[in-house]
Amino acid sequence: MATVGENIKRVRNKLGLTQDDLVRKSGVKHTTLTKIESDVVIKPSVQTVANIAKALGVPMEDLLK
C-alpha cells in the first residue's frame, strides 16, 4: 500500500507539476509538502490533504489509499 506522500508525488508527476507548482496551487508550505512526499510526515492533517487534493483535482480518497 502506498503512503499519502507517494500518492501525492505520483499524481503530481502525472500532471507534470513541480513541488513549487503544487505549493502555489495548494497553499501548503514547501517544507510541509517536502516532508509529506519524503514520508517524514506520514499522517498529514486532513486540511492539508484536502488542500493538496483540491489543487491536484483529485478526490481526497485517491491520496489516502
CB-neighbour burial class of residue 29 (10 A; exposed 0-12, middle 13-18, buried 19+): exposed
pLDDT at residue number 65: 86
pTM: 0.95
Question: Chain-centre distance of CA 61, in angstroms?
Answer: 12
Which residues in 34-47 are b (16+ Cβ under 10 Å) and which e?
eebbeeebeebeee
pLDDT at residue number 33: 98
CATH topology of domain 4-58: 434 Repressor (Amino-terminal Domain) (1.10.260)
pLDDT at residue number 7: 98
What's the half-sphere exposure (Cβ side, CA atoms, 13 Å) at 32?
15
pLDDT at residue number 24: 98
pLDDT at residue number 54: 98
Question: Chain-centre distance of CA 45, in angstroms?
Answer: 11
pLDDT at residue number 62: 95
What average pLDDT does the structure give for the chain? 97
* Domain definitions of the chain by residue range: 4-58
